[in-house]
A and B are shown apart, each in its own frame.
Chain A
Amino acid sequence: MNAPFKAPFKAPFKARAAAALADPVLKTAIDRTTGNAERKRAAALAAFPEFEAARARGQAIKDHVIAHLGHYLEMFERNATARGAQVHWAGDDAEARAIVTRICLAADARLVTRAKSMLGEEIGLPHALADAGIERVETDLAEHIIQLAGEAPSHIIWPAMHRTREQVAELFKTGHQPPPAAEDPATMVQSARRVLREKFLSADIGISGANFLVADTGATCTVTNEGNAELTTTPPRIHIVTAGIEKLVPSTAHALALLRLLVRSATGGEMTQYTTFHAGPKRPGDADGPEEMHIVLVDNGRTKMLADEFREMLRCIRCGACMNHCVVYRQIGGHAYGGTYPGPMGSVLTPVLDGLAASRDLPNACTMNGRCAEVCPVGIPIPTLLRAWRRRSWREGLEPGPVRAGIGLWAQLARRPRLYRLATRIGLPALRLFGKGGWISRLPLAGGWTDHRDLPRPAARSFMDQYRAQQKARK
């Protein structure tokens, strides 16, 4: 599953995070979008007192599908095929890329339009199309921005959220002919509308993802606010869908129940502007629509997650609320994580997709404050799953030597209460020697902490010693 072209871990995570922290423009950009998202979600929930009940139901729907995944996959395949769609199965990202590329080449496609899909990013579709010599046009506005910038998405809902309007204006100045007349978002959006309109109508193939795969109808469902999915999937001769096998729902009614959670959690809206079910290709006599529809069902690690302790992650409906509310994401943004999926959900998924050895820093880049689990619309215990990765990293010996030695030493002490108390009794006065006033601002071997913030000067005696003394005094 380690895709050679992705190379997302060129610089170590700590270096990427440090670079992100040093970028003041990035911080502004992140604050603007995540702050908005957090406020709007809170308002949407305040207007929906049944949200908790809806969330319990959403979780139950996802758990039900996961428990009967094989049944629903076969049901979906049967019904999609009956509607005239061609269903393909891909075990990993390479197989998925090969299937899509083969369809494109067989159709002699020169121009492909694409509606935003994180699964498409996960399987490396953009690069695969480029390698096959096929022009790819991203139609979601944010994806259009990052395509012009030559970047990867930094957020699963707002892929270009790391760019300020001034930076977008710079990109459009050279990327649009003629360039937009002004730098305000409305003028720039109009410019993108004009540029992309021609592409929609001249594309040979439209590729979308799916927010849901509806088992009992064989339909795939896309949700957008821009209307780019329908303009991507309707005019071209061929519509290709790439979707993870966890996207299944039993019926349209189940999809709509989950949609109530998805939209409120993602953008704070109640419904996306366009919620569209695509069932097979154009029917005889239909006024428009594609002649062929292909659906690529992608595993890429999902059956492994099903089999081990990360099964709950298959509930994820990709709303992005966990990253909007994450103290770490809000400091470093999405690119620093280095994988396809950033933030808390990404820190659970990236080790599955890219291997734990390459991404063991991600589960550690978490304060365990639990906000992600609190806001997750399908109740995924993200901190518990991150802890599971930490345990596995330890078990597999992936921690660097000094870390292992340090934690090993601490574990020896922690398992021997007397020795531990003796060590603290010796250590505390030593630590106090470095204190000035109430704080320690410099400490040997602890520069990683004290370079950025002071450590409170500890009390003269440990908690246990003070507690004992008090108990004695009471007697």
Chain B
Amino acid sequence: MTARDRILSAIRATLGPGKPPERIAAEAAALLEDPDAARPRLAAPELPEAFALKAAALGTTIDCIATLAEVPRAMARYLDAHGLPPRFAMQPVPELAALDWQGLAPHPAVAADEPAALGLALYGIAESGSLVIHSGPQNPILLSFLPLHHVVLLREATLLPYLEDYAARLAAQAIPRNAILITGPSGTTDIEGSYVRGAHGPGFLHVILIAG
């Protein structure tokens, strides 16, 4: 008998043959009914404001711009403010490559000690101030983890109110290798519980929120 058989038969011996899968699925769905009763209220009635309040509380900085075309200027502003060089890693997507980067020098591969990187979030979650990133051919996961400064573009239209709303979106699409919720810069409290930013991932998380 394999370990699998032993484990499953031990479970069956205790729990019996089990209900039909449809019944179990219905029970599981019922456990999530009326989600408002068991989740926190949004920090503000409007999603962008609610998101911004939560994100800021975690140390994420936010810059609001009107259109995608303004991204290079917003990026230049951020790099300047932190005394960073104009070279940075950028997610290899056509919509970013097509922008006019003027004096900046984005490059596609992220280095082990990359000072800054720019990427796109798939969604933002207002409840928690989280950014959602999915892995894919044009989305290296390490772009979000190796740089010291992680700059993320987020469109207001992709803001979702609650974690459940994201779970529903995920369930409706092809599941990626990695689905990541990023909620604030990397941090640790492992030495005496005192909070230090930039443990392994980015020490700075900056969101460029695009209205249009």
Contact = CB atoms under 8 A, between A and B. Distances in A.
A164 B192 contact: yes
Contacts of A67: 15
Interface string B171-196: 10001111111111111111111101
Nearest to A47: B40
Nearest to A299: B7
Interface in B88-142: 92, 112-113, 128-130, 135-142
B81 interface: no
Interface string A21-64: 00000000100110011000000000110100110110011001
Given A70-B15, A73-B8, A190-B198, A275 B192 contact: no
A89 B40 CA distance: 38
A128 interface: no
B201 A274 contact: yes
Contact of B175 (A83, A188, A274): A83
Contacts of A33: 189, 192-193
Contacts, number: 274
Interface of B: 2-4, 6-8, 10-15, 18-19, 21, 24-25, 27-28, 31-32, 37-40, 54, 58, 92, 112-113, 128-130, 135-142, 144-146, 163-164, 166-168, 170-171, 175-194, 196, 198-202
Contacts of A53: 37-38
Contacts of A163: 191
B201 A226 contact: yes
A215 to B, nearest CB: 9
B141 A260 contact: no
A257 B196 contact: no
A253 interface: yes
A138 B150 CA distance: 24
A142 B8 contact: no
A189 B128 CA distance: 26
Interface stretch (A9-17, A193-201, A326-334): A193-201
A217 interface: yes
A254 B199 CA distance: 29
A54 B25 CA distance: 20
A306 interface: yes
Contact of A288 (B11, B25, B141): B141
Counting chain B CB atoms within 10 Å of each CB, the highest count among A60, A142, A256, A306 belongs to A256
A201 B114 CA distance: 13
A388 interface: no
Interface of A: 29, 32-33, 36-37, 47-48, 50, 53-54, 56-57, 60-61, 64, 67-71, 73-74, 83, 89-91, 95, 139-142, 145, 158-161, 163-165, 168, 185-186, 188-190, 192-193, 196-198, 200-201, 216-219, 225-228, 230-231, 234-235, 245, 250-254, 256-257, 259-260, 267, 270-283, 285-289, 297, 299, 303-304, 306-307
Contact of A185 (B12, B137, B194): B194
B191 A188 contact: yes
A186 B8 contact: no
B14 A276 contact: no
16 contacts: A68-B19, A73-B7, A159-B190, A164-B192, A190-B198, A250-B28, A250-B31, A253-B167, A254-B32, A260-B39, A276-B179, A277-B180, A278-B178, A287-B136, A287-B141, A299-B3
Contacts of A54: 38-39
Given A189-B198, A287-B139, A253 B164 contact: yes
A390 to B, nearest CB: 24
Nearest to A268: B189
B8 A197 contact: no
B197 to A, nearest CB: 8
Nearest to B109: A287
B188 A226 contact: yes
B106 to A, nearest CB: 16
A270 B128 CA distance: 7
Given A141-B190, A286-B137, A251 B28 contact: yes
A68 B177 CA distance: 27
Contacts of B171: 216-217, 251-253
A256 B4 contact: no
Contact of A275 (B180, B193, B196): B180
